[in-house]
Amino acid sequence: MVIVDADTILDSQYSRELMRFAPLEDKAVQSYDGMSNEFENWLTRLAGLLTRSRYGIAMPLKVHAGLNVPLTGDGTVLGTTLLRREPWRVETITEGWELSAALFSTGALQPALYAALALRSHPGTRRYSERPPPTPPAMQCGVGWSACGPPSSQDVVPGRGRPVMSRSWIRAL
């Protein structure tokens, strides 16, 4: 079973590369999560930087140090035998972390095996998502945007001169 979001674009060689890890029935594999439009604008560049930092630097370093690396949800491949033995009960928004902790704690997912499988960044095992361009604040609220318009003087932290998010801005998000 491969978990993907609605905005996921699988690499054309994804399934072929995934078969390098066969048999997959009793394994969990985390795909590299990239972006298809990384250099489109400042927001996509930032998201791309964070993605590359996580999948290209932080996770491999954790694996090399022998630490558990959580499944991230999108792009996770879960074997059917593994799921039958260790049912996945999604109870919070951090379902990937929950599943990882459960699999590691029961011994169903060994760090060494997971490291060997999950973090090989073969070009074909990547999946991509596309981030939308940034939306001007006036457009974020749609109709009646003035109710949550730009920060006013009341939205500044006293003594610091920094804008903070007002309740109206939080509602808009």
The answer to whether the CB of 70 falls within 8 A of the CB of 158 is no
Minimum mean pLDDT range among 50-54, 55-59, 99-103, 148-152: 148-152
Backbone torsions φ then ψ of 61, nearest 5 degrees: -65, -40
Query: Which pLDDT does position 128 carry in this prediction?
Result: 59
Q: Is the pLDDT of residue 125 over 70?
A: no
Question: DSSP letters along 85-136, please?
Answer: HS-----STTHHHHHHHHHHHHTSS-HHHHHHHHT---GGGEEEE-PPPP--
The mean per-residue pLDDT over the stretch 100-118 comes to: 62
Edge-to-edge strands, sheet with 126-129: 9-10, 126-129, 32-35
More confident position, 105 or 93: 105
More confident position, 26 or 63: 26
Q: Residue for token digits 């630490």?
A: 67
Query: Which pLDDT does position 173 carry in this prediction?
Result: 38
pLDDT in tens, 129-153: 555 555 555 444 444 434 444 444 4
Query: Which pLDDT does position 46 carry in this prediction?
Result: 92
pTM: 0.58
Give which of 14, 6, 2, 38 is closest to 126, Cα–Cα.
14
The mean per-residue pLDDT over the stretch 15-33 comes to: 80
Name the most confidently modeled range: 40-49, 80-89, 110-119, 136-145.
40-49
